[in-house]
Amino acid sequence: MKAISKPSSIVSMLFLFLILLSCNATSQVEIEDETPTEELEDTVEETEEETSEEPENTNYDISSILSIFDNVEAISYTVTSTSVIINTTNLPNHKSPYYEGTDWETEMYTDYSGTNSNFRLNPNRIGEQQISITIPLYPEEADNKEATPMGPMGISRNGVVFFNQYAAGFSALDNEIDSFDQYLGHPAGTGAYHYHIEPVYLTETFGEDALLGLLADGFPVYGPLENDAIISTDDLDDYHGHYGATKEFPNGIYHYHVTATAPYINGDGFYGTPGNISR
Give the pTM.
Answer: 0.82
**CA-wise closest residue to 215 among 174, 170, 264, 143:** 264
Confirm whether 56 is domain-assigned.
no
Do 18 and 151 share a structural domain?
no
**What is the rounded average pLDDT of the residues 263-271?**
97
Q: In angstroms, rounded to a whole number, what is the distance separating the alpha carbons of residues 89 and 160?
A: 8
Confirm whether 126 is domain-assigned.
yes
Do 111 and 31 share a structural domain?
no
Q: 94 Cβ partners below 8 Å, 6+ apart?
A: 158, 183, 201
Confirm whether 58 is domain-assigned.
no
Do 78 and 44 share a structural domain?
no
Least confident piece of the model among 19-23, 90-94, 216-220: 19-23
Do 241 and 132 share a structural domain?
yes
Q: What is the dihedral of CA 51, 64, 132, 171, to 10 degrees?
A: -30
Q: Which amino acid belongs to residue 90?
A: N
Confirm whether 209 is domain-assigned.
yes
Per-residue model confidence (pLDDT) at position 53: 86
What are the pLDDT digits (tens) for 151-200? 999 999 999 999 999 998 899 999 999 999 999 999 999 999 999 999 99
What are the pLDDT digits (tens) for 56-79? 889 999 999 999 999 999 999 999
What are the pLDDT digits (tens) for 127-148? 999 999 999 999 999 999 999 9
Q: Which amino acid belongs to residue 40?
A: L
Q: Is 218 left (phi over 0), alpha (psi -120 to 50) or beta?
A: left
Do 47 and 137 share a structural domain?
no
- The answer to whether the CB of 119 falls within 8 A of the CB of 259 is no
Number of domains in the chain: 2
pLDDT at 258 over 80: yes
pLDDT averaged over the chain? Answer: 87
Confirm whether 228 is domain-assigned.
yes
Confirm whether 57 is domain-assigned.
no
DSSP 147: P
3-class secondary structure per residue, 148-178 = CCCCCCEEECCCCEECCCCEHHHECCCCHHH
Least confident piece of the model among 15-19, 39-43, 119-123, 248-252: 39-43
Q: In angstroms, rounded to a whole number, what is the distance separating the alpha carbons of residues 255 and 249?
A: 10
Q: Is residue 13 very low, low, confident or very high in pLDDT (cuts 50, 70, 90)?
A: low
Do 87 and 18 share a structural domain?
no
List, as own/partner pairs, every contact residues 37-41 make where C-beta atoms lie below 8 angstroms and the sequence separation is at least 24, other chains included. Answer: none
Per-residue model confidence (pLDDT) at position 56: 84
Q: Is residue 203 very low, low, confident or very high in pLDDT (cuts 50, 70, 90)?
A: very high
For 262, list phi and psi in degrees, rounded to 5.
Answer: -55, 140
What are the pLDDT digits (tens) for 87-98? 999 999 999 999
Range of the domain at 42: 1-51
